[in-house]
Amino acid sequence: MSVAFAGNSTTGSPREAGPLRVMIVDDSVVIRGLISRWVGAEHDMEVAASLRTGLEAVNQLERINPDVAVLDIEMPDLDGLSALPQLLAKKRDLVIIMASTLTRRNAEISFKALSLGAADYIPKPESTREASAADIFHHDLIQKIRHLGARLRRKAAVASPPLAPASPAPAARGPVARPAVPVPAPAVHAPSGSLSTRPFSTQAPKVLLIGSSTGGPQALMSLVTELGPVIDRFPVLITQHMPPTFTTILAEHLARSSRRPASEAVDGEPVKAGRIYLAPGGKHMRVVRSGADVAISLDDGPAVNFCKPAVDPLFTSAIDVWHGNILSVILTGMGSDGMRGGKDIVAAGGSVIAQDEASSVVWGMPGAAANAGICAAILPLNQIGAKVNRLFAGDRS
């Protein structure tokens, strides 16, 4: 999954300064009002428009020129999935976040939207009256807008670096004018190639653990197509930040992509080679010893790193089972989930691979691991599968 660059139009290039302009498209006046208040309260973003239908968004896009669109799926006149390609045809670098309620149909549509160029999705709570559900929706939406919008601007800055002034600017005579709205600079990461890495473990891996978040579904579906030899001989466990229903659909997509059994993990089931176990939405997935076997352990405890499921619980629990015989992969995603668990894996004798910044939708989780110095390799997504296969086949370098 990546920020879309479909279409040929260059209308409305992203601005390099000022708040992110957010277009809210939803037929619910309650949701529009809620998101508008949240966006308006942030110092680095502003409401560019609040619209009722996808048709209004398509017709008014050039005038509004937003950086980010929060696009509902079910709307009159023109639904979100139909509006999506039309919006991207008019503005190829528009960041579109699909919003939908937690139904199987909407989950399927959200996955379809990702394949058509949507940057991400977010589940809307069944009722905004439930404080905890509204708080999670609020937190996740603002973070997605901010991080995906910042990535857009970093790409624009790389594509069009500012020219040096022809002559020195005159010295200021008095107070320096400052923007009315302070905008923090995007997080600066060291280039992947300049980060230090450590040697791979000398211990043979007996399990593959994968953690991912924003951008993860598309990355996972791409990666598992290459991992057949590993899946056939070793268990593969994945935690993707995702709500219930969405993980059900993701497991089905992973099964089709890998041509191997893949399903949401079930509490107490044995962990065996030959299949993919996906943490179900709303539950943390751990592994435990069960006599001579290994079993799945699910729990409904509090969120970890603002996430449930979270990657760290899986990573740390695996150490008690496989000790240092662990290979873990941290893919694209916001935040730093997986970094602490990755540190523990390395301390136990295992290895961590992180996706590089250029191929990540958001270089939060893999970037945190890379900057912590715990990775044995920092690779583009299209190189991770081959490397994993070699490591499980006996390569130790």
CA distance 243 to 262: 17
Cα–Cα distance measured from residue 105 to residue 107, given in angstroms and rounded to the nearest whole number:
5
Residue linked to tokens 């560019």? 48
- What is the per-residue pLDDT for 349? 97
Q: Along the 397 residues of the chain, how does pLDDT read in single tens digits?
A: 333 333 334 455 555 668 999 999 999 999 999 999 999 999 999 999 999 999 999 999 999 999 999 999 999 999 999 999 999 999 999 999 999 888 899 999 999 999 999 999 999 887 666 667 788 899 999 999 999 998 877 766 665 555 444 444 444 433 333 333 333 334 445 555 578 999 999 999 999 999 999 999 999 999 999 999 999 999 999 999 999 999 999 999 999 999 999 999 999 999 999 999 999 999 999 999 988 899 999 999 999 988 999 999 999 999 999 999 999 999 999 999 999 999 999 999 999 999 999 999 999 999 999 999 999 999 999 999 999 999 999 998 8
Phi-psi region of 239 (alpha: psi -120 to 50; beta: other; left: phi over 0): beta
* Alpha helix stretches (DSSP H) within the chain: 29-40, 54-64, 80-90, 104-116, 131-159, 216-224, 228-233, 246-258, 311-322, 339-348, 365-371, 381-392
What is the Cα–Cα distance from 148 to 164, expressed in whole angstroms? Answer: 28
How far, in Å, CA of 349 to CA of 54, rounded? 52
- Residue 337 is a catalytic residue: yes
Structure tokens, 266? 């079930």
Residue 180: Cβ within 10 Å count: 7
* CB-CB neighbours of 392 under 10 Å: 20
Instruction: Please state, in angstroms and rounded to a whole number, the distance separating the CA atoms of residues 251 and 257.
Output: 10
Catalytic: which of 72, 79, 337, 356? 337
Q: Please, is 101 exposed, middle or buried when counting C-beta atoms within 10 Å of its C-beta (0-12, 13-18, 19+)?
A: middle
What is the reported pTM?
A: 0.85
Of the chain, the percentage scoring pLDDT greater than 70 comes to 85
Q: What is the DSSP string of 313-335?
A: HHHHHHHHHHTT-EEEEE-SBSS
| Residue pLDDT, tens place only, 137-177 | 999 999 999 999 988 777 666 655 554 444 444 444 333 33
Please, which residues have CB within 8 angstroms of residue 165's CB and are 6 or more apart in sequence? Answer: none
Q: Which of 120, 147, 241, 253 is catalytic?
A: 241
Class of domain 199-392: alpha beta
Active site residue 297: no
Backbone angles phi, psi at 24, to 5 degrees: -105, 125
Q: Which of 276, 280, 288 is nearest to 319 (CA)?
A: 288
If DSSP codes are grouped into helix, strand and coil, which group holds residue 154?
helix
Q: Is the peptide bond before 244 cis (omega within 30 degrees of 0)?
A: no
CB 97 within 8 A of CB 71: yes
Please check whether residue 331 is in contact with residue 208, taking contact to mean a CB–CB distance below 8 angstroms: no
What DSSP state is assigned to residue 194?
G
Given 100, 212, 213, 297, which residue is catalytic? Answer: 213
Structure tokens at 277: 């176990």
Active site residue 44: no
Burial environment of residue 132 by CB neighbours within 10 A (0 to 12, 13 to 18, 19 or more) = exposed
CA distance 19 to 158: 19
pLDDT in tens, 172-200: 433 333 333 333 334 445 555 578 999 99
Query: Residue 125: what pLDDT?
Result: 82
Tens digit of each residue's pLDDT (9 = 90 or more) over 290-342: 888 999 999 999 999 889 999 999 999 999 999 999 999 999 999 999 999 99
Domain ranges of the chain: 20-157, 199-392
Task: Report the topology of domain 20-157.
Answer: Rossmann fold (3.40.50)
Which pLDDT belongs to residue 14? Answer: 55
